[in-house]
Amino acid sequence: MTSRTIRRALVPLAALGLLAAVAAPASAGPDSVPGTAGATTVTDTPEPPRPAFYEPPASIPATPGAILRTEPATQFIDPLGLSDLNVSATRVMYASKDRLARPIAVTGTIFEPRKPWLGLSSRPLISYAVGTMGLGDRCAPSRQLAESLTMYEHYFLQGLLARGYAVALTDYQGLGTPGTHTYVNRVAQGQAVLDMARAALTRPGTTLRSTTPVGFYGYSQGGGAAASAAELAGTYAPELKVRGTVAGAVPADLVKVAANLDKSLYAEFLNYALLGLSAGHGVDVTSYLNDRGRAVAQRTEGSCVFDLAQSAFQDSATLTRDGRPLTAYLAEEPFASVVAENRIGNRKPSAPVLLSHSLLDDVIPYAVGRQLGKDWCARGANVRLSSNVGPTHLGGALPSSAESYAFFEARFAALPQANGCWAIR
């Protein structure tokens, strides 16, 4: 019996959480744990050599947020480091946990303004969850900031830094580090965001304190990661002084999102989800694919978001052995348990949330965001849903970013959010 067959057989138990108590250390079975030394991709596709900084140590601390290494993070648009006069930028590798609580190494970047903070509280920190970057290690936000102009959320970061906030930007599990990035895995992404905040608060030389107020921000994939962090913060990182979350275009229901993606311009995102969920849950995805599907999966392992045209309008039924679309598998095991575990909205955020979603979103249906608001409201959360008419999914990112400024200013000033659940129908 191969290691892949064994991992597949364990999926139903993992979905019930029965493996968490006996989870192996990071050094055991590294090919099944992205973000650990020697991890391999779910398709066994070799990854290109990565900078030494992104290679995890053989042993990873069990303390989430522990910093493993740091280095100055010079940005591509500022190769001489002149912006360092105003903002310090530090690349970090820190300890986090995967969905089975196994230690993993995650990388990211921490930005901290040098100008003294003049607010009433300590300087606030935004733990920033980026949107879809891709699966290839070269797509990691920290690498794109240093190597190219393709890190499109750089401009949203600048708006937060201009307000004097520190910003901590995670690369997520397996993005930059060994193994397949666990794209849209709820627990792994939420914990990476929370542990990124922990790392920022303990970075050597930081002016941040344990009393620092913390906010989460994200859009699209980042919206899901920020929303998950909001749900997990009270139990996973109760010491953080979380004041609120802005989550835009949250892919809360992967079944409905997948149905919308198949045969669309953004079909590559469905490929990302297939591989990312398989990596996070130990599914042997290749057993479901035909020759063409395996070739697409192998290519997707190195894909970045700007490569999405290579799968535009792809019909996933052409990728499977039995000729059924990938979406048909989501109602069957092991995938039914996988998508159920990754549903966002079953846990109450402990701090106010601003949900932002475009009525014209062509990637994540507006109804998915609205239902998330209803689910959270039913659990007694303080939620406001802000609808906009930003053209398409991309256009909805601008209103989400713009609204975040007033939201965070109010939360960091200890002003309450008027609960908008009455308006979410």
* Per-residue model confidence as pLDDT tens digits over 24-77: 233 223 347 999 999 999 999 999 999 999 999 999 999 999 999 999 987 755
What's the average model confidence in pLDDT over 91-95? 98
- Which residues contact residue 13 at a Cβ distance below 8 angstroms, ignoring those fewer than 6 apart? 19
Task: Tell me the HSE value of 214 on the side-chain side, using a 13 A CA sphere.
Answer: 30
Does 228 map to a domain?
Answer: yes
Does 276 map to a domain?
Answer: no
Domain around 388: 3-254+340-423
179: CATH: 3.40.50.1820
Q: Quote the mean pLDDT of the chain.
A: 90
Residue 190 has which token pair? 């939420």
- Summarised one tens digit per residue, pLDDT across range 144-178 is 988 877 788 888 888 999 999 999 999 999 999 99
How many other CB atoms are found less than 10 A from the CB of residue 398?
A: 17
State the pairing for strand pair 67-72/383-388. Answer: unpaired
What's the average model confidence in pLDDT over 71-85? 65
Least confident of 67-81, 188-202, 271-285, 367-381: 67-81
Assign 2 to helix, strand or coil: coil
How many other CB atoms are found less than 10 A from the CB of residue 328?
A: 15
What's the average model confidence in pLDDT over 96-111? 97
Q: Are 217 and 248 in contact (CB under 8 A)?
A: no
Residue with token string 């694919």: 289
Task: Write down the pLDDT at residue 343.
Answer: 98
Q: Which amino acid is at 9?
A: A
What's the average model confidence in pLDDT over 137-146? 93
Does 150 map to a domain?
Answer: yes
**Count of the separate structural domains present in the chain:** 1
Alpha helix (H) residue ranges in 148-240: 154-162, 186-202, 221-236
Confidence of residue 86 (pLDDT cuts 50, 70, 90): confident
Beta bridge partners of 35: none
Residue 235 has which token pair? 């139990």
Strands (E), 183-231: 213-219
What's the average model confidence in pLDDT over 357-370? 97
Alpha helix (H) residue ranges in 301-396: 335-341, 366-378, 392-395
Assign 127 to helix, strand or coil: strand
- Summarised one tens digit per residue, pLDDT across range 217-261 is 999 999 999 999 999 999 999 999 999 999 999 999 999 999 999
Does 275 map to a domain?
Answer: no
Assign 104 to helix, strand or coil: strand
Is the dihedral angle over the CA atoms 117, 123, 124, 126 positive or is it negative?
A: positive
Confidence of residue 118 (pLDDT cuts 50, 70, 90): confident
Does 239 map to a domain?
Answer: yes
Q: Are 260 and 270 in contact (CB under 8 A)?
A: no
Residue 256 has which token pair? 């409905």
Strands (E), 14-144: 67-72, 87-97, 103-113, 125-129
Q: Are 125 and 212 in contact (CB under 8 A)?
A: yes
* pTM for the full predicted model: 0.91
**How big is the CA angle at 144 (ends 29 and 266), to the nearest 5 degrees?**
80
Does 414 map to a domain?
Answer: yes
Does 314 map to a domain?
Answer: no
- Which residues contact residue 25 at a Cβ distance below 8 angstroms, ignoring those fewer than 6 apart? 102, 103
Does 12 map to a domain?
Answer: yes
How far apart (Å, rounded) are the C-alpha atoms in residues 220 and 130? 8
Answer left, alpha or beta for residue 194, where phi above 0 means left and psi between -120 and 50 means alpha. alpha
Residue 381 has which token pair? 């959360």
Instruction: Tell me: pLDDT of 195 over 90.
Output: yes
Residue 260 has which token pair? 């919308």
What's the longest Cα–Cα distance across the chain? Answer: 62
